[in-house]
Amino acid sequence: MAVGRAPWMEKPGPITRVLKILAIVLIVVLMLYPFAYVVFASLTPPGATLRFGLVPSDWTFGAYRSVLAGRIIPRALMVSVGITAVGTVLSVVFTTTLAYGLTRTREIPGSRPVLYIVLFTMLFGAGLIPNFLLVKQLGLLDSYWALILPTLISAFNMLVVRNFFLQIPQELTDSARIDGASDLQVFLKIMLPLSKAVIAVIALFYAVGYWNNFFNALIYIQDTSKWPIQLVLNTYAVQGSPISQIENPNAAGSVTPQAIQMAIVVLATVPILCVYPFAQRFFTKGVLTGAIKG
């Protein structure tokens, strides 16, 4: 007796497709509306009327000029860019090397206990006070390294990369070793070129994590000149602290406090948002292949 295909494998009918399109459009609108509101609010001058409760009748970039004319926001952006760039590179390097070493549990003595230790960190954390005391004893307080070293390797990202490495045929590495390639050459010339998808994915994960690193900066950084953009965003936009320090005196009266706050939100969001389109095509291949073994 012939067996038909599963219901979810059948081509959807016209009504189903219309419902799916409407659902997707609704989700997109709900996701984009808050961001559009923030952008339009940052461009709204004093006294302007709003069309449809969102689009201003007049436009001004005074809030952005006021914010960028000061020292706090540009410096905070540079701090966040530096931490994100350095932290992402170091995290990718250490994560991939650790993952490669843990794929050779039979050849490297002690690698399996190290793997169990890494897995243990996914279940239990040391807690805030022990982490703070450790950072303090290492002399990292008020240092940019306090925002990088404690989160240098993510156990989840390491497992994704390790499982991806395990999918690479063993015959490739065996043939390279027969030809005289060292472990470093196998890693650099075989494993990494074949793992561009998963590396791009974890690099994006790390970059987003470092860019949005607010809590560690709040705990470990007391010098306001070393604040990243997220901590500045919390101080001036969320808590509503006085913004006279970041206002351009020449722009006084031409912008509203809300416009300046929304401009800070946009400047803190757009840089990392621009990275997503370049890594989007790697997501499906990188995450699924690295997360499934067998």
In the chain the domains, ranked by start, together with CATH numbers, are 72-224+276-291 (1.10.3720.10)
Q: What is the biggest distance separating any 2 CA atoms in the chain, rounded to whole angstroms?
A: 82
Residue-wise pLDDT for 155-186, tens only, equals 999 998 998 888 888 888 888 888 888 888 88
> What pLDDT, on a 0 to 100 scale, did the predictor assign at position 280?
67
Cβ pair 81, 271 in contact under 8 A: yes
The size of the chain, in residues, is 294
Structure tokens at 145: 């390294």
Give dist(CA 158, CA 202) in Å, integer: 9
Give CA separation, 244 vs 126, 241, 257, in Å.
Answer: 40, 9, 9
pTM of the predicted protein model: 0.81
* SS3 per-residue string spanning 215-262: HHHHHHCCCHHHCCHHHHHHHHHHCCCCCCCCCCHHHCCCCCHHHHHH
| Residue 31 to residues 35, 51, 117, 151, 183, Cα–Cα distance (Å) | 8, 20, 39, 29, 46
pLDDT given at position 81: 93
CA neighbor of 230 nearest in space, from 242, 215, 241: 215
Residues of the chain where predicted confidence (pLDDT) is lower than 70: 1-10, 237-254, 279-294
Q: How far apart are CA 273 and CA 267, in angstroms?
A: 10
**Helix%, strand%, coil% for the chain, nearest 5:** 70, 0, 30
Can you give the pLDDT at residue 84?
A: 94
Task: List strand residue ranges (DSSP E) for the chain, in order.
Answer: 50-51, 55-56
